[in-house]
Amino acid sequence: MAPVTFLLAHLSDPHIGPMPRPRRRELLGKRVTGYLNWTRARAYVHDMGALKQVVADLAAHRPDHIAMTGDISNIGLPAEFQLAHAWLETLGPAEDVSFVPGNHDAYVRGSMPDLARVFAPWTKGDWTKGDWTKGEKPAAETYPYLRVRGPVALIGLSSGVPTPFFIASGRLGPSQLAACEQILVETGKRGLVRVVMIHHPPLTRPSNVARGLADARDFENMLQRCGAELVIHGHEHRLSVSHLKGARGPVPVIGVPSASIKRGLAQHRAGYNLYEISGNGCECRIEARARGLLPGTSVVGDLGPIDLRPR
């Protein structure tokens, strides 16, 4: 009998547009520069027609689950969140689509309550009393969340935090990291294939202070202690493959392009990743492929396999 395969689709950074016209009182602080950046540049880079093509191609593959790793909005406006809510509903039922926020979603402190409320259906985990050694997770703590789908444990982290002008970095914080480690240990004991979803790449890069994950080193240390089978992220708007040390060996860390960028180099143009997952956490097999706008065209197609082997 052939092994059962779980098909996971991953897309990120759609930057849904066109941006609703902000009220004057909403354009305070950092949102002013973000709005100007959108009107002068980003609005011409992120193409909703390309996004529609990407989503149609993704749907044709009938994935078992879809991971959307943030930057669904541009400056975290309540009206943007409503557009994003409607768009997420087109991907499928909320139990089949998981969302984690990015820095553009957590753009300012005032965005946070609406961000938590509007996207609650796509961040609802399977945490129940008695599942974990430390008891029930407080209802107010959305992240990390766990969704078990077939042989896969999907673990959603929030690296989106409000930051000052011209800063796009992220942070997890000690509490979220500790809870994530607990989930990884317990799901590892259950033999599940552990997939961590995060917006910022959890990699230590000296040149990435203003755009990276501030506590990437803590994340790396956590993986060395408890491991995972796959980490997927967005933020960089390009296909990328890295590895981190895990308890059982190297852990692939895979970035995906923006789902809506129509111009630029091949690895930056609109696309998404597909992962075929079989086996269990102790002995799993993951095969990955990239799909997106084909070079020199406006057609979405196969861009080839993604090599997950450590280099």
Domain ranges of the chain: 5-306
Q: For the whole model, what pTM was predicted?
A: 0.94
CATH H-level superfamily of 5-306: Metallo-dependent phosphatases (3.60.21.10)
Q: What are phi and psi of 63, to 5 degrees?
A: -65, 155
120-141 tens-digit pLDDT: 999 999 864 445 444 444 434 6
| Residue spans of the chain under pLDDT 70 | 1-3, 127-141, 206-207
149-200 tens-digit pLDDT: 999 999 999 999 999 998 999 999 999 999 999 999 999 999 999 999 999 9
Strand partners, 170: 213
Paired tokens of 36: 């100007």
Q: What pLDDT does residue 138 have?
A: 43
Distance in angstroms (rounded) separating the CA atoms of residues 222 and 183: 11
Distance in angstroms (rounded) separating the CA atoms of residues 22 and 189: 49
Q: What pLDDT does residue 3 have?
A: 57
Helix residue spans in the chain (DSSP H): 30-37, 43-45, 48-60, 78-91, 112-118, 174-189, 216-226
Residue 295: CB partners within 8 Å, gap ≥ 6?
266
